[in-house]
Amino acid sequence: MRYYLAIDAYLKALSAPPDKRLQQRLNTWFSATEQYPRQLHELDRQDYLEMKHHEVERQQTAQ
């Protein structure tokens, strides 16, 4: 289910300007997972977004 939601969020974000896509993907994915809280809720939205932004920064630094 997580993979389906991730692919769906990725595809929906393609219509956004390139500099807004990451934020849209993250928000869309998190909102989708909140529709299934018993199975998929792990973090609060703010904690999730902070974690993902740090992860992206780390990946960009490593390149």
Q: CA neighbours within 13 Å on the CB side: how many for 7? A: 3
Given a contact cutoff of 8 angstroms between Cβ atoms, the answer to whether 52 and 23 are in contact is no
C-alpha 62/C-alpha 16 separation (Å) is 26
Q: What angle do CA 27, 28, 32 make, to 5 degrees?
A: 115
Per-residue pLDDT of the chain (63 residues; tens, 9 = 90+): 999 999 999 999 999 999 999 999 999 999 999 999 999 999 999 999 999 999 999 999 987
Output the pTM of the full model. Answer: 0.86
